[in-house]
Amino acid sequence: LLVPCATRKFSCYSTRMQSTQMRMAKQTCFRGTAPKAQRMVAQARGRRSCQVFAVATAVKTVKIGTRGSPLALAQAYMTRDKLKENFPELREEGAIEIVIIKTTGDKVLNQPLADIGGKGLFTKEVDDALLEGRVDIAVHSMKDVPTYLPEGTILPCNLPREDVRDVFISPVAKDLSELPAGAVVGSASLRRQAQILNRYPHLKVENFRGNVQTRLRKLDEGACSATLLALAGLKRLDMTAAITRTIPIEEMLPAVSQGAIGIACRTNDTAAQKYLAGLNHEETRIAVVCERAFLTALDGSCRTPIAGYAYKGEDGKLHFSGLVATTDGKEIMRTSRVAEFTEEGAINAGKDAGAELKKNARPGFFMW
Nearest to 53 by CA among 26, 83, 92, 90: 26
Paired with 246 in beta bridges are 167
Could you give the strand order of the β-sheet that contains 62-66, starting from the edge strand earlier in sequence? 96-100, 62-66, 137-141, 261-266, 153-158
22: Cβ contacts below 8 Å, ≥ 6 apart? 45, 51, 52
Pairing of strands 261-266, 153-158: antiparallel
Q: Give the containing element (helix H, strand E) for 77.
A: helix 70-86
Distance (Å, whole) CA 156 – CA 242: 34
Q: Can 144 be counted among the known catalytic residues?
A: yes
The one catalytic residue in 127, 136, 144, 269 is 144
Nearest to 170 by CA among 233, 225, 131: 225
Burial 253-271 (b: 16+ CB within 10 A, else e): bbbbbbbbbbbbbbeebee
Residues with catalytic function:
144
